[in-house]
Amino acid sequence: MNAEDDVESVAELLADDTVRCILLATREGPMSVAELSERCGVSETTVYRRIEDLQTHDLVAERTEIDEGGHHGTYEATLDRVTVDVTDDGFDLTVDRRDTMADAFTRLIDEL
C-alpha cells in the first residue's frame, strides 16, 4: 500500500464520476488526455486534475507515445482492486495494483 493510501482520500477519489470513468477507460489500454476528455465528457483541464490525483495514489501510470505528430503522454490504470476491511481499530485499506505494460516488459527482460 502506498503511504498516501488512506481510507478517506481513496474513498473520496473513487466517489468522483470522472475518476471512475478515467480508471475504467484506461484499464482497456493507454489513453491520451484528449481521448479521456471525449470519453468522459469533461474538459481536458478536468482530466489533467483527476490524473494528478490518481498519480498521487499510483493508480495510473504515464507513458510517452511517439507518432508522426511528435510525442504525447498517455495514461494507463494500475488499479486492480481496492479492499476495505473493518477491524477493531477502524478500517484497513488495501490497494492492489497491476503492472503496466512497461512494468511487465521490464520484468520479462530482467528474468532473461
Residue 51 in domain: yes
Query: Residue 45 falls within a domain, yes or no?
Result: yes
Separation CA 57–CA 12 (nearest Å): 12
For residue 38, what are the domain limits? Answer: 7-111
Classify residue 2: in a domain, yes or no.
no
pTM for the predicted model, two decimal places: 0.77
Query: Under 8 Å CB-to-CB from 109, ≥6 apart: which residues?
Result: none
85's grid cell: 476491511
Do residues 78 and 61 make contact, with C-beta atoms less than 8 angstroms apart? yes
Q: What is the pLDDT of residue 100?
A: 63
Kindly report the CATH number assigned to the domain that includes residue 73. 1.10.10.10
Tens of pLDDT, residue by residue over 27-77, are: 999 999 999 999 999 999 999 999 999 999 999 999 887 777 777 789 999
Q: Is the pLDDT reported for residue 95 higher than 90?
A: no
User: What is the pairing mode between strands 79-87 and 90-97?
Assistant: antiparallel
Indicate whether 1 belongs to any domain.
no
Q: Could you tell me the maximum CA-CA distance found in the chain, to the nearest angstrom?
A: 57
Number of domains in the chain: 1
Percentage of residues of the chain with pLDDT beyond 70: 88
Judge whether residue 5 has pLDDT over 70.
no
